[in-house]
Amino acid sequence: MSRFAKFGLALMSAILFATPSVAQTDQTKQMRRPPAHVSQQAMQSQADPDGSVFVLNGLPLLLELHHDTEVATGNPIDVYMLVIEMQVMNSDGNFEPVGLQIHNFFTAKPLDAKNGGNRHNARDCKLWVGHVNDELRHRDQTSRLWPYIEMLTNTNARVIETNEDGRVWWSDDIQCWGSMDRFRPF
């Protein structure tokens, strides 16, 4: 075999073997909130500068109810997993990572149903996810607006340890609602 043919074969092999590794860099990235095994103090140290809330905007990809149990007691507890894919908002030039899916875990029922500010936060999240997904399905293709979900979490949100899902927020400390943005999600 000539040197040119060997070089061509080596080059073709290199391209074929390199392609999967290049394609893997474009895979969807995932992040979990709250972190499964991080202390409350460590979570608070990652708070926004004003120390109040963490805002997450994006496309709702999945809302799933898990039947879980509390660590140590074994008491049953229902947990929602809401997966939101980050969406670039208002084109400030500081784009969020494209393809970042954030898995948010929160209880279906609040910690303090009698005295909590809004004991229906988990239900409201479920309703808003439905509204936003409905809007996406029936969106006029000529519209300049894109629906998205917005989720707010208190940076000092209380968590509960579960056996199956790890740490999850109490739904008293989260809020969801839908909105519209003038920039198409990437």
The pLDDT tens digits of the residues spanning 27-53 come to 667 878 888 765 545 444 454 555 556
Q: What pLDDT digit, counting tens, does each position of 121-147 carry?
A: 999 999 999 999 999 999 998 888 888
Q: Is 81 exposed, middle or buried (0-12, 13-18, 19+ CB in 10 A)?
A: middle
HSE of 34 in the Cβ direction (CA atoms, 13 Å)? 31
Cβ–Cβ contacts within 10 Å for residue 27, how many?
8
Among 43-47, 77-81, 97-101, 112-116, the range scoring the smallest mean pLDDT is 43-47
Residue 80 lies in a domain: yes
Whole-angstrom distance, CA of residue 87 vs CA of residue 75? 37
What's the pLDDT score for residue 98? 64
Residue 148 lies in a domain: yes
Q: What pLDDT digit, counting tens, does each position of 162-183 carry?
A: 999 999 999 989 999 998 877 6
Q: What is the domain range of residue 111?
A: 29-181
What's the pLDDT score for residue 113? 78
Residue 113 lies in a domain: yes
Residue 5 lies in a domain: no
Map tokens 């303090």 to a residue: 112
Residue 21 lies in a domain: no
| 80 and 170 Cβ atoms separated by less than 8 Å | no
Per-residue pLDDT band at 92 (split at 50, 70, 90): low
Whole-angstrom distance, CA of residue 119 vs CA of residue 113? 5
Dihedral (Cα; 27, 45, 150, 85), 10-degree rounding: 0
- Tally of domains within the chain: 1
What's the pLDDT score for residue 127? 95
Residue 73 lies in a domain: yes
Residue 9 lies in a domain: no
Residue 78 lies in a domain: yes
3-state DSSP assignment of residue 110: coil
